[in-house]
Structure 1
């Protein structure tokens, strides 16, 4: 009920009035994987609230255990938009995340994932991690490529609040299906290529996390 309240009464209408998002394409019924580029923290607002179906994500457990009013509001928001906490301790994060995602898909729901694994540091599209491919091959669910456009200008990295009011676009592409014996790296690259065609971003064949780590080391 909280998700419906956010989508249809509170945040959804507000986003539509202020940012006038343009949504093109759709997603199929039943189990499917929504694979999107990741430009801004506000992607976690626009994608679930503008998608035609409820999207389930996984998120850091830290988002759900904060204290005080701010912590409770953050936890309520992430639960409200369909985020499931995953314990990152003990080195089992990847396995736990895959198990959680598979369970969501087995229930016939829509699972959202950012193949890059982290936000783009500069607006370009980076090499995808193979988790999205392993999930697609294990579940047999189709992958729907998605492109968010303009969210990095609305809320650039490092900004806690929106910096610019402008129209945002959410583009859903045609579903992709893969045989179970396909190579995970090749599948991941095909998914990212489909995202790139939707978004028009420049592609960089390195991991975004590596770029961030190198920049932090240089500045630190």
Structure 2
């Protein structure tokens, strides 16, 4: 019996849904030494959205509403929904990718979400997220550049990619979005796709920051209290006057993206203050615009 259970556990840990075939024109992208998942994620990025992912978004998004009331404001014009998009969101907690996925689907978008390698490497949930178009980001490693290549392929094939410019859950003491890095800005300038700011607030109430049993406690509490999970989608960020490779333009793009997210966040925070401060959340970050005050003369 113990041998059977061990084989079952191994099967669960190693399970992967079947990826689509890798298109011939992407074979040249592969090189010796690439991680084993790279070809798989390239194939998924080039393929249409997975039917199972579409089914989950259409039929089971109510599961997210069990933990809070999702409220969506703003819109994405139909002409933009037909083409590739970069959706830049502030990162407030571990539950917010689910909230963003549901919110964007209600606005006619099928999101492919960039996620840390640790999540995508997790049994069952990780392979499902990857097959749904999730893009693995191995921050601070030599394979981090692979995420950029996968994202480029997804965008070239018309994908709607959700990225977090902050590069992590925001840790500014006042909770406003951090300045982030230039990676997303460089990607937007290089590929030339619209950048849509996505501001959100409330998902941090569902799962605490710390990885301990408190996560289950806050999840259970949300089932009872059902906090409001607000998402606002703003107009595209103006980047047409900027160019990749020109000195300072990546920083200007990064600043404009952070400003757009912060502006959209102001009314969301005014409408809903945190119910439960999170003592497990570090506060060693720095907000791009402390207090949510964005100067009118952003370069």
Same fold (TM over 0.5): yes
Matched position secondary structure for 2:255: helix
Q: Which has the higher contact order (CA 8 A, sep 6+)?
A: 1
Q: What is the distance in 2 between the residues matched to 1:92 and 1:76?
A: 19
Q: Does 1:141 align with 2:141?
A: no
In the superposition, the TM-score normalised over structure 1's length comes to 0.80
Unmatched 5+ residue regions in structure 2?
1-50, 270-281, 286-299
Moved more, 180-189 or 57-66: 57-66
Q: CA RMSD in A?
A: 2.6
Larger radius of gyration: 2
Q: What is the distance in 2 between the residues matched to 1:112 and 1:211?
A: 25
Q: What is the distance in 1 between the residues matched to 2:209 and 2:88?
A: 21
Matched position secondary structure for 2:228: coil
Classify 1:210/1:188 alpha carbon distance in 2 versus 1 (closer, same or farther; 3 Å): farther
Q: Does 1:107 align with 2:157?
A: yes
Q: What is the distance in 1 between the residues matched to 2:114 and 2:88?
A: 13
Q: Which residue of 1 aligns with 2:97?
A: 44
Unmatched 5+ residue regions in structure 1?
202-208, 213-220
8 Å contact from structure 1 (residues 147, 199) kept in 2: yes
Matched position secondary structure for 1:157: coil
State how 1:146-165 maps to structure 2 within 5 Å.
Answer: 146-158=198-210, 159-161=214-216, 162=219, 163-164=221-222, 165=226
Q: Which residue of 2 aligns with 1:5?
A: 55
Q: What is the distance in 2 between the residues matched to 1:89 and 1:119?
A: 15
In the superposition, the TM-score normalised over structure 2's length comes to 0.60
Q: Which residue of 2 aligns with 1:54?
A: 110
Moved more, 84-93 or 51-60: 84-93
Question: Runs (4+) of structure 1 moved beyond 4 Å?
Answer: 86-90
Shift of residue 80 of structure 1? 5.7
8 Å contact from structure 1 (residues 6, 80) kept in 2: no
Q: Which residue of 2 aligns with 1:24?
A: 73
Q: Does 1:190 align with 2:256?
A: yes
Matched position secondary structure for 1:168: strand
Q: Which residue of 1 aligns with 2:234?
A: 173
Q: Which residue of 2 aligns with 1:96?
A: 146
Q: What is the distance in 1 between the residues matched to 2:140 and 2:239?
A: 32
Cα deviations by residue, 1:172-220 (Å, 9 ceiling, x for unpaired) = 000124235260001101100110001127xxxxxxx9926xxxxxxxx
> Which structure has greater strand proportion?
1
Q: What is the distance in 2 between the residues matched to 1:18 and 1:88?
A: 29
State how 1:112-131 maps to structure 2 within 5 Å.
Answer: 112-121=162-171, 122=173, 123-131=175-183
Q: What is the distance in 2 between the residues matched to 1:44 and 1:56?
A: 10
8 Å contact from structure 1 (residues 54, 82) kept in 2: no
Matched position secondary structure for 1:125: coil
Q: What is the distance in 2 between the residues matched to 1:142 and 1:106?
A: 12
